Structure 1
Amino acid sequence: MSRALSGQPANEQPPAPPVLPEGPWVTLTSASNTAFAGPWGVSFTANLTPDKETGLGKWSERNFIDTIRTGRHLGRGREILPPMPIGVYRQMTDNDLASIFAYLQTLPPISNKVPEPLPPASAAAH
């Protein structure tokens, strides 16, 4: 629990994901539940703690709300990938999202630089 919501541990690089099986299975999840592989490549859970260098510490409430509304990092960057259920959070009011952001700001900051997502070609090359 001391690392709750700090994302994929920077020092724990998972091995290359196995090849996705044929059929309806489209996602594989690491045992830590912090790395996900699918048709989009490999994505890692984000550091949601208020650490200023590796988490949400420099974000404003507006940045957070824009990220959820657009499905893009800081409202304009790269696409937010699984496992973030962005479609569910988009249904929330700005007040609800502001409350979530306020809660996240109360967490102890944890320095943890989460790996960048790997595109499908890179994931297959591992």
Structure 2
Amino acid sequence: MPPIPAGVLAPDKWGALCNSDMTVWAGPWGVSFAANITPDNLTDIGARTEDAFIAAMRTGKHLGAGRDILPPMPWINYALFHDSDLKAIFAYLKSPKPIANQASEPIPPPGK
């Protein structure tokens, strides 16, 4: 990869890089990894409640109360959805076959 020119990713500018399958993203927030969004009870949304999902979409907090939801998840785009729409999304996410796949924890930027 070529070097990024000075000033392109300055503190007042936003930028990100991702791997070829778009499952790892790096930017000013550090490094984030794609979550397992199948309904597996141990590694993602299977054990989550509809209320926790809706809270996460409204607040931008992981599990509705934890750390910030990181890019590239555009949670802010869902924050003003009607409850009925968020409930439909949650039902859809619960519908496929569960796949056990533990995502890596986010890596904060240096110094954070």
| CA-CA distance at 1:74 after TM superposition | 1.4
Match of 1:5 in 2: none
Between 1 and 2, higher relative CO (CA 8 Å, sep ≥ 6) is seen in: 1
Matched positions, count: 105
Higher Cα Rg: structure 1 or 2? 2
Deviations 1:5-30 (A, max 9, x none): xxxxxxxxxxxxx9755315610011
- The CA distance in 1 between the partners of 2:60 and 2:100, in whole Å, is 24
C-alpha deviations, 1:16-62, integer Å up to 9, x for none?
A: xx975531561001101111000110001111110000010101110
| Gaps in structure 1 of 5+ consecutive residues | 1-17
TM-score of the superposed pair, with normalisation by structure 2 = 0.86
Tell me which of 42, 61, 79 is aligned to 2:50.
61
* CA RMSD, Structure 1 to Structure 2 (Å): 1.8
Give the counterpart letter for 1:45 in structure 2: A
User: Unpaired runs of 5+ in structure 2?
Assistant: none
Moved over 3 A (4+): 18-22
TM-score normalised by length of structure 1: 0.77
Q: Distance in 2 between matches of 1:95 and 1:117?
A: 30
